[in-house]
Structure 1
Amino acid sequence: MIIVLTGIDGSGKSTAAHALVSAVQAKGGKALLLNNHAGRRSMSVLQARWGVRLPERLADTVETTFRVWNVLVSHLQASRFNGLVVMDRHLYCQLALRGTNGIPRGRLLPWLLAVLPSPAAVIHLEIEPDEAHRRIVARGTDAETLEDLVAFRDAYSALPEYGSFIKVDAALPAPELAERLERVMSGVTASEHIPSREAATKRH
């Protein structure tokens, strides 16, 4: 079973992903954490250090190439793993970034989403951009403006897929957020093991 975590920078995706995997493993379950990054943090730091900004199309090409490669490798690893797979980021994130920068969705990313195994759930960590910006400034490992984060949030909510995401308040204190994620996971796991009415009818 694949669970995907999405959200703007500073929403705590990586922390939440580690918490989910640790919670499953602590209970004796098998869980694997996979990171579908696009090298965006490294690019933003380097651009800030050099005082330059790559053209949006060029930056998107680089990020999309890294993201698609990582997603394909992750799905290959997931296909060989018998347990829960938590993916930190996915192609939805790249589509939101494109929306942030005014770049069309294109055909490749939607096509890949259609042909790759669908996740059991996409958990979207919701947070106000100003709080996300505060976290980013505090950790000091990347550079994002408040304006970019606002645009990123709006681009996520404009995705056609956004309506099917499970939204979780990422501003909750860490223990409460972990508990909330575990409840979401329990619900998803239960629904995955409940046979559909059609399947039950066929068996009888």
Structure 2
Amino acid sequence: MNVNAPLVPGPKWTRKPQARPDEVLEAALDVFAANGFAATRMDDIAKAAGLSKAAIYLYFPSKDDVFKALVEQRIGVVQSHFDAAAKDQKHDPLAGLQRAIRLWANSFHDLRLAALPRIILAEALRFPELADFYHRTVIERTQASLIELFQAGIDKGLFRPVEPLVAARALMSPLMFEILRRQAFPAHIPPLSMDELVDSIFDLFLKGLAMPEVENHSGVAP
């Protein structure tokens, strides 16, 4: 080694290869939110991520894989917390339901995240394999956690013996609609916070679900 050779300064910083998939997914979320799935190209994602198209393919073989990774990374983390909250509260199904749906609704404070279910709803017929993946990864897991809470409430005599799957869908549908509506019409978001909205929907839902004894206790006629 020539100790007299001039030192060549290296770059001030370099991108860590392990960080690049996250950069790609962050850029892809912006692009999908703006363009939808069908109109998004891998070139668009690469440009938004500041990488070459070839670099994108090192991490994700296809646009479908990018979208699936987004669902697993962004919604999958939320889903894990949701599942844990539901299981931890089976001893108190009422509190468990309220806590779980609050957590789920507030996870969409980043309206870009709401683009993922919106895309699935809008483009499911054109991309049935992607829709099936979303249904298995997100919807079925969410329903399963809620079904456990509803069944626990029925077993404890807190809820009427309704069909738990129908109850789960009835509870989540207005929340999902509100999340999608807030993304579509950001200038017309109601003054209620998401927590206040969740509590209002939960209260309305519960009055139709509670056993007559609970209704009488609350002052509502059976």
**Which TM class, normalised by the smaller chain length?**
0.3 to 0.5
Higher strand content, 1 or 2: 1
With the length of structure 2 as denominator, give the TM-score of the two structures: 0.38
TM-score (norm 1): 0.41
Which structure is higher in helix share?
Answer: 2
